[in-house]
Structures are given as structure tokens and as C-alpha cells.
Structure 1
Amino acid sequence: MSPRPPSPLPGRRSVLRGSLAASAALALPATVTAPALALSGRPKAGWGVQTGDVTTDSGLVWVRSDRPARMIVETSATESFRRTTRWHGPLLGPGTDFTGTTRLRGLPSGEQIHYRVLLADPDDPRRTGEPVPGTFRTASTHRRGGVRFLWSGDIAGQGWGINPDLGGYRVYEEMRRLDPDFFLCSGDTIYADNPILPTVTLPDGRIWRNVTTEEKSKVAESLAEFRGAFRYNLLDENVRRFNAQVPTVIQWDDHEVHNNWYPGQILDDDRYTVKDADLLAARSLRAFGEYFPISTLPTGDAKGRVYRVLRHGPLLDVFVLDMRTHRNANSPNRQPDDTNGILGAEQLAWLKRELSRSRATWKVIASDMPLGLVVADGAVNFEAVAQGDPGAPLGRELQIAELLRHIKHRRITGTVWLTADVHYTSAQHYDPARAAFKDFAPFWEFVSGPLAAGGFPAVKLDGTFGPEQPFVKAPTRANVSPAESPQYFGEVDIDGASGELTVRLREEGGVLFTKVLQPGRVGQ
């Protein structure tokens, strides 16, 4: 086991004793079939609770029932729930896979909110299941409290699922003990294209043992299989404890559908009977919106959008990007003009507009793919922004150049890029003094992950935007299991008094790299 991180600083969020006990009691078996819970007695919420897209005065609460039920949320300023406010949520049924989200509004800013979810029998509202508690902290409208959050991505990838011999996804328990204000999940929240088998033989002959489910025994094609893929990670009690205490900001990338997918793609993959990537993406997006509390995605609907901005008080705005849904086809990525690029014209215009409107000290751009790392898709095509040509911007680089030029000319300060995707951790500083493209202000990009997937060697840097890499830690071979290599996540700490932003790149058990950035300073 990795050593435990230090206890949170005094005055931070208290440990959620009640919900931890409740989550521990909800441990699910190593082999699960649907439906996972019996239908006798009162409605049950065996998949835990979670919150998402929390702001200064609002938040979304999520739950899944084992049968039709009315969702009810009670909130209180204390764990005793002596005084409560009741929120009547949706009726949970098969149309949303018995999941539902309730929006809480008018909450006090900068306060600890204790909540519990009750599931009521639709035919007899007095019959409710055991309440499932959780907690979260609203963002503060004042600077004094500061902001601290974590980020990472890449969960249940390459066939490395929930291993009970290792204690499951134990990195989630380490992150929970750090007690952040929220967690930014940078995509690849599932691996719909990677089945989870009962056992995998490691290079040294040891046996990796997975929790398995029927839906995860094959690639996801139907809506039911996508729902099962999103449900899989909730079998882990570390994840359920984490979700009950830490709000999430979720984005998606390729593995929610298929490796390196893009709109209009027809899959060349013999494992699939459904070859239309757009059809698979629509099914996945619907399940994605059912299993995560996301403000722009209505539960049970394949419409809506993933990209959005979350205002977290005067210190921080988080701009959540979607580099998957609106991109052009993967190609050699050297076209001299590229309107659609990796963001699409509409999303790029939205991002420029919202960055210009932001008055937050720091503008975190949550990118599901890195900018200057060369991520290939086969022998000649490329998957991310860069393509390895260190010269003037080409292909998808043109959209990024337009965005960086806008940030410079509008004098937008405090932009920091956070991402995952490549299954290792690194820090990149981009500087026009080293770049082929000169019309931008220096900035930092930080990479962290995976959380529960295979580790991969570092890829090359592309010189177009002048990246320099003061830190990188990556395996030397492909698909190193979590049993052989620590998992990675990052921490961002914004000081309320000075406005300093500190980034820590972490692995299970400790800090690997630290960078302190000063507010309003260009070229740091």
C-alpha cells in the first residue's frame, strides 16, 4: 500500500463520517449481473451519491435507484440534519436507467452543505429507502478561503479494472483524504472499447484479478452496454466514498465511445457490429449524461453539450472543453486552412467570448487532449493538436494559434491548461521565444493520469508553440499495469490572500513536481 497523504489543514471540510460508514456498507460483489440489487422491500441507492458542477450558490445531486422511485434531497448546515430543506427531484425509471439529478439552488456561498438522498415509493411516498448522505462545499464569493482541487483522467483502461487484491481503485481514497473542493475528470471516464476480463497475466507471471460484469465483458454498442460501462466504476467503494465527499467536473474524450473516434467515422474494428461512430457516440452521450451530474446535459437525453464554463468565485473560472464531438477527421493534420479544427467553429467562438468575459484571477482551461504532445493515430494520422512539424501552424494547430492570439491581444491573464489522455504526468511551458508561431503570451500546460489504467511512454514534443518540458515521469514500456506503476493525479491550490496558484503533480504516495505561478504575471 502507498503511504497515506498528510491530514487536511485545519478549517477545511470535515470528514464525512456518516457517508463513509454508509458507503462501506454498500460493498458490492466481485461478479455483478443486472439488476445488481433485489427488488424486495424499499427502494435502494446501492450505487452511492455524487454531486457535480457546484458553483457559489448551486449544485447538482445524482443518485441511482434499483427500481422506480421518486428522488428527494434534504439539505442541512449540519450533519445532524436538525433543520432541513427538502428538494423534490425527478421520478426515476427505466427511461434514465433509474438515474436522476436534482439541482439545488439558492445555497449559501462558501459553506459546507450536508445532504441526504431518499428514494420514495411512487405509489406510497411515505415508504422511503435508507437515506444516503453526502456533502460538498459551495464556492465562495470571497477570496479569503482560496480554492483547492484535483484533476486526472483515464479510468478502467486497457483491461485493468477493479482489482480486489489491490483494494480496488485505492488512489481515490488518497485523493479523498486530500479533501479538495472539487475534482476535475479530464476524460476517458470509461473505456467502452476495452472489455474487462476476469484475469490478466502480468509480465512477471502474477495474475491480475478483475471485478467483472456482463456489460463489460465486451465492447459497448447498445445503450444498455454503455450504461453498464458507466455503472462499472461505481462498483468500487473507494469511488463511492470519494463521490459522496468531493464534487466532480466531468468531461469526456475518445474512450467513452471508441479509441480515437471522430464524427462521421465508420469503424474498422471486427469486434463491432455497429460501425457508425456517430450512432455509438449518441448512445454513449446519453448514458454519460445519465451517470454524471452535468449542468448542460439533461438526464436521459442525447442532446445538450459537454463544453461549458463553471464560475468558482473571484479566484477561478473553469472552461471545460470538448475536443471530440466537434473535430474534423483524424488525418496527417497538415492542411493550410482548417475551419473546424479540433474544437469546431462554434465552440472556439464560445471559448474566446467566455475567456474575454471572465474576471476571475485564474482561468483554467480543462482540455481533454494536450496541445504540444504528438499523439499519433496509426502510421500517418494524428489524434490531438500537434503533428510533429515544428514549423508554422498547420491543421488543428491553426485553431489553437487563433485562440492563443486572442488571449494575448485581449490581454487575458491567468490561463493555465490542464489535461490527461497520454497516461503519464508532465509539465510543459510554452514560450513564443522558442516557437515558430510568435503571436501569443507564454503559458503552462500540466498533464496527469491515469487514475486506473495502463501507463505509457512519453511522446515527443512539437515545436510550433515552443514547449519546454521541465518535468516528465512515464513508464519505459507500453501498458504498464497499476500493479507495477503508481497512478497519477494533479493538485491545484490557489491562495486566497496572495492569489498564487500552486500546481503539484502527484503520484500515489507523494508529490513529484511543484510549480508556483503568480497572478497577473506574463511570461512566468
Structure 2
Amino acid sequence: MVATISSYARPTRRQFLSRSASSAALAGIGCIAAPFLSRAADRPNISCGLQSGDVSSDKAVVWARADRAACMQVDYATTESFHNILGSRRVDALPESDFTAKLLLDGLPPGQDIFYRVRFDDIADGRFAGETQVGHFRTAPAVMRSISFVWSGDTVGQGWGIDPARGGLRSYRTMLDNRPDFFIHSGDHIYADCPIEAELKLPDGGIWRNIVTEEKSVVAHSLAQFRGNYKYNLLDDNLRAFNAQIPILAQWDDHEVTNDWSPIGSVDESGYDEHGVSRLVSRARQAFHEFIPMRGQPEQGGRVYRKVEYGPLLDVFLLDMRSYRDSTWNKGDERDPAFILGPVQLAWLKRELAASNATWKVITADLPIGLISLDAIALGDGPPSRREHEIADLLSFIKHAGVVNTVWLTADMHYTAAHYYDPNRAVFQDFAPFWEFVSGPLHAGTWAPGELDNTFGPEVRYEKGCSATQGENLAPCFGLQFFGHVSIDGGTEAMTVTLKDVDGRALWSVQIPPKPDARTGPVLSQHF
């Protein structure tokens, strides 16, 4: 649960102590109420760095994790010196959330650099405090100011973990060097189903040497193991440095739970709870919300899909193609129900797209539209079938509702590509042309480009992945790790999308001029 600065009431020490059977139990979690606490080792500290997320013009979530039960103290200001503190807030980090804590800061000034400093105080006696760390984010502008962001997905997959000798998770350092306003993580933050081994042989004869932890050495089933996957990634210096400076907009895909999961059928030996919910999925969902700095929606079962407004130029629509899908692997009789968004999410997306006044509407999807996969949307050439009906319905709605300037972003496929969807090339033609960009992995095995179908008429404008001679699951050290960079000009309102590699090289780029919105009149100042 995210505590807001306007409504959060911190539990008293008496309330916290009552949760434990004895003071001995408190000692086991590192929170003895002792007036003689003095050694640095006895003070609570930050264990996994800082993060911020879901940043808009006046709000942001701040996250940290303590090494024991503690109270998180957050001060935030518009200068790094903290001479003009905007506010100070507190929230407890307790065992039931694995000592993670989140605060929703609101009432922030738009278009402003915000610096926040975090420390953990002893929960029984606030006089004893740990180290302080400082983070940063920038709120969305309220005016037509140029903005930029990066996106990608797929971190620590296929057994390729953190090898310090090879630079660790290098993509995060490269993305930080781009100094974007924010980062969209398109899913597969972790690979809960991909254990890490100490060593892997490389095709050139070298050895990849992973940092190994107990919780990351097995396929995740328990809540502790799912949490351990997130903590493993946060061992990397590049990721922690990136998180402290760049806010994240996060969605999830399959590997946060298990490969190709769906709500029904993805279980382990623990089965389903009394409400028919997979216990495996519930544990994975809890760990995701504990470790990701996003606004909580507990009244909706931890909903992941949402809209984030980033000023007059941009609205971001983050989808969830996992939690509401059918479990048929996108095959079977056409008469069977088939969906990947579900009726509630689809209705929400239509409503929010139609209501958006932003110049650009970026739809971030877990999966691409036109790449053939039994786990995704596309089934092969021909008219819409099964899950494709939802996409056809959505694309037709976008056209007839007069929604303009939609761009789709995704990762998942472990290569990078630019696809242009043209109704003149398509079997289903009742939609307006649009772009879809694919970019990943951040740090995982790289694959060869996939096959597109002609249902919605995608054309490959660029793609880069493994070659036939390189084979599949190519290690990150061979340089085929990718992310995308998007910039929107505050004057022309044009969007430029650039596909980049782990070394920051621009591989391909396109500038997309905005189309006039019939509801607000023509876009002014288009200079190209």
C-alpha cells in the first residue's frame, strides 16, 4: 500500500510492538527497543537503493527498502542542498512487506527537478537513524516543454545474471547517460522462472560468471523467492544508480510470475485459494507491488493497467496483457471466448484514449501486435481470429472516435524493431495507420527477429537481433542489448523515436509529425 502525504497516519510504537509475541521476536527482526543503541551496525539502513515512479505534474512515488523493521523518513526539495524543503513525510517499513516502503508525494510543483533524501529510523526509538541517500526525479511540465524518455524490458533472463567483470547490467548505465525524464519498463523486470548458475559457457570459449544468491538459484515458488529475484537485480551498481536518478513507469509481463502465465492454469503445488486465485500468481503479484514504485490500487486487487499524464504533450497508457487473458494459448475453436485485455480493461482504454487531450498517446503493451506467437496476439495471415478481435475492435474505435497520434511501444521479443501498420497492406482495414516499436532486452538472451502476419498490415522498417550464425540466446556481452529513446519537441510537437544498443549507438531513427486533433484544431508550429 502506498501512503499519501495527506492521509497517512503512522502506527504508534505500541501498535507495532503488539504485532509481535515478545521482545525476543522483535530482536529477531532487528528492532529491539533499547536505549543503549549506539553502534552503526545496530542502526537501520537502506539495503536496495532508492527508486521513484509514476511521476506526473504534481505527484510521484518514492520507494526504499530497509535492512530491518524501521521508519522511512523522506524529505523533498527543489534544490540538492535541501535549503528549501517542500515537505517531510514518514512511513513504516515492516516485515509483512519485506521491509519495503513507499510514499506518494503530492502537491509537487510541475516541470521541476525534485530532490529527495531518505533515511531509516529505528522504529522503537527515532533517535537512532541510519545512513541518508539522495534521489532525484523531474515532474511533468504544465506547459509545452520538450520531454524525453526511454523504454525497454527483459532484465536478467535466460540465466544471464550479474557478471561484475563484464560491467554488470550495462544497459542501465547507458540509459542513465541519456538523461531521460523517465523510463518505461515494458515487463519482465525479473525472470522468476530462470535460476542463476555460477558459470555459463560462451560460444567464443569464454566463461560468464554470475553473482549467485540462494533465492535466485531456484525457480521461484515462495514469496521469499519472488522477493529474492528483485533483490538480486538490485545488487547491481548500474541499476541502483539509474533508479536513484530516473523515475520508472512499470508494467509487467509473464516472467514476473512464470513463463507464458495466464490467470487460470498457472499454479504450483499450493494450488488455488478459496476464491479460486492461483497462490503462485498471488505471491508474484505481492512481490511486484512491494518492489516496484507505482501507485497502489488495493481496492482493485493491485491493478497494473493505468494512465500516467506527463504534461500537455504526452499521456502514457500502461496495459496489462497477463491478468485478464484467457488460458487457451490463443488457439482452439473460433467459437471459444478469447481475449488478452479483457472487457473491463478494453473499455477503460477506449474511454481514456477518447478523453485524452495530450498531443501524443503512447500505448505501452506487454507484447507486440503483429508478431506471430501462440502466447500473444497474432496467429498468422488472414482476417482477425480469437484474441485479434479485441485488437481489431480497439483499432477501429481509435479511428472512428477521432483519436490521433497513437504510438505503441513494447519489448518482450529480445530484439529491436520498427513496425508500421498500414491498412492498405492489411486484411483487416478499418483502422488508421500507426507505428509500433519493439526494443529489448536490457540484460537477457538475444533472439532472432520473428515473423509478422498480415492481419493488420505491419511492415518492418528496421529490425536487429541475432543472426543465424550467432544462434539463439546470445549472451549480453556480445552487445545485442537494446532500448528505445523517445523525444517530443516542445515547439513542433514532433516525436522522434531512436532505437539504440547497449553502447548508446543510434541504430535507426524516425521523426513523426503530429496530426491535427479535430477536437482542438490544427497543431501549430510544425517545422521540419
Paired position in structure 2 for 1:10: none
- Provide, for residues 295-330 of structure 1, a one-character-per-residue CA deviation record: whole Å limited to 9, x for no partner: 1345xx993200000000100000000000100113
Shift of 1:391: 1.3
Matched ranges for 1:30-69 at <5 A: 40-69=41-70
TM-score, with structure 1 as normaliser: 0.87
* Structure 2 CA distance for partners of 1:105 and 1:332, relative to 1, 3 Å: closer
Q: After the TM superposition, which of the residue ranges 183-192 and 77-86 deviates more from structure 2?
A: 77-86
Give the equivalent residue in structure 2 for 1:296: 296
String of CA shifts for 1:236-278, please: whole Å, max 9, x gaps.
01000000000000100000111111111156xxxx6456692
Q: CA 1:505–1:266 in 2, change beyond 3 Å: closer, same or farther?
A: closer
Aligned mate of 1:314, from 301, 312, 315: 312
Which residue of the partner structure matches residue 19 of structure 1? none
Counterpart check, 1:512 vs 2:507: yes
Aligned to 1:77: 78
Distance in 1 of aligned mates of 2:266 and 2:313 = 44
Q: 1:419 to 1:338 in 2, by over 3 A?
A: farther
Structure 2 equivalent of residue 8 of structure 1: none
Instruction: Say whether residues 1:448 and 2:439 are aligned partners.
Output: yes
Range 77-86 or range 251-260, more displaced: 77-86
Matches of 1:515 and 1:320, distance apart in 2? 23
1:503 aligns with 2:497: yes
1:204 is matched with 204
Q: Distance in 1 between matches of 2:307 and 2:82?
A: 32
For each residue in 1:132-180, what CA deviation from the matched residue of structure 2 results, as whole angstroms up to 9, or x when unmatched?
Answer: 100100000101x211000000000000001111110111111101100
C-alpha distance in 1 between matches for 2:83 and 2:153: 38
Once residues 74 and 219 of structure 1 are traced to their aligned partners in structure 2, the CA distance between those partners, rounded to angstroms, is: 39
1:371 and 1:35 map into 2 onto residues whose CA distance is 47
Aligned match of 2:91 = 90
CA contact (8 A) 2:330 2:375 kept: no
Equivalent residue number for residue 6 of structure 1: none
Cα distance 1:266–1:450, how it changes in 2: closer, same or farther (>3 A)? closer
Return closer, same or farther for 1:284/1:302 CA change in 2, 3 Å cut-off: farther
Distance in 2 (alpha carbons) for counterparts of 1:386 and 1:295: 32
Which residue identity lines up with residue 514 of structure 1 in the other structure?
S
Q: Secondary structure at the match of 1:212?
A: coil
Partner SS state of residue 204, structure 1: coil
How far does residue 339 in structure 1 lie from its aligned partner after superposition?
Answer: 5.3
| Aligned counterpart, 1:105 | 106
Paired with 1:462 and 1:441, the residues of 2 have a C-alpha distance of 18
How many Å separate the matches in 1 of 2:300 and 2:384? 34
CA distance in 1, matches of 2:152, 2:331: 27
Answering whether residue 163 of structure 2 is matched by residue 171 of structure 1, we say: no
Q: Distance in 2 between matches of 1:521 and 1:279?
A: 48
After superposition, the Cα gap between the structure-2 partners of 1:401 and 1:306, relative to the gap in structure 1 and judged at 3 Å, is same
Identity %: 49
Does residue 475 in structure 1 map to residue 473 in structure 2? Answer: no
Is this contact kept in 1: 2:338–2:386, CA < 8 A?
Answer: no
**What CA distance in whole angstroms lies between the structure 1 residues aligned with 2:322 and 2:163?**
30
Given that 1:338 and 1:398 are in contact with CA atoms closer than 8 Å, whether structure 2 keeps it comes out as: no
**Matching of residue 429 in structure 1 with residue 420 in structure 2:** yes
Q: 1:13-32, aligned counterparts within 5 Å?
A: none
Q: What SS is found at the alignment partner of 2:47?
A: coil
Q: Distance in 2 between matches of 1:338 and 1:490?
A: 37
8 Å contact 1:454–1:481 — kept in the other structure?
Answer: yes
User: Deviation at 1:291?
Assistant: 0.2
CA distance in 2, matches of 1:321, 1:292: 16
Q: Deviations over 1:434-488 (max 9, x none)?
A: 1000100000000000000000111100100000001000102210000123310
Amino acid at match of 2:487: D
CA contact (8 A) 1:335 1:394 kept: no
Q: The residue matched to 1:411 in structure 2 has which SS?
A: coil
Task: Compute the displacement of 1:338 (Å).
Answer: 6.4
* TM-score for both structures, normalised by structure 2: 0.87
The structural deviation recorded for 1:208 is 0.3
Runs ≥4 residues deviating over 4 A: 272-277, 337-340
The answer for the alignment partner of 1:25 in structure 2 is none
Deviation at 1:184, TM superposition (A): 0.1
Conservation of the 8 A alpha-carbon contact between 2:50 and 2:62: yes
SS class of match (1:281): helix
Moved more, 248-257 or 197-206: 197-206
Q: Superposition RMSD on alpha carbons, in Å?
A: 2.0
Q: Which residue of 2 is the match for residue 360 of structure 1?
A: 358
Separation in structure 2 between the aligned mates of residue 194 and residue 297 of structure 1, nearest angstrom: 29
CA contact (8 A) 2:266 2:280 kept: no
Separation in 1 of the partners of 2:337 and 2:347? Answer: 12
Q: Determine the C-alpha separation between the residues in 1 that align with 2:188 and 2:377.
A: 17
Give the whole-Å Cα distance in 1 for the aligned partners of 2:311 and 2:335.
38
1: CA distance between counterparts of 2:447 and 2:406? 28
In 2: Cα distance, 1:303 partner to 1:332 partner? 25
Is structure 2 residue 322 aligned with structure 1 residue 328?
A: no
Q: Which residues of 2 match residues 86-485 of structure 1 at below 5 A?
A: 86-143=87-144, 145-266=145-266, 273-274=269-270, 278-297=278-297, 303-333=301-331, 335-336=333-334, 341-375=339-373, 382-388=374-380, 390-476=381-467, 477-485=471-479
Contact 2:117 2:132 in 1 (8 A): yes
CA distance in 2, matches of 1:513, 1:204: 28
Provide the rounded CA distance (Å) in 1 between the counterparts of 2:297 and 2:181.
22
Question: Which whole-Å CA distance do the structure 1 matches of 2:89 and 2:223 have between them?
Answer: 28
For structure 2, the residue ranges without an aligned partner over 5 or more in a row are 1-27, 31-38, 518-528
1:24 aligned residue: none
Larger-gyration structure (1/2): 2
Measure, in 1, the Cα distance between the counterparts of 2:430 and 2:229: 43
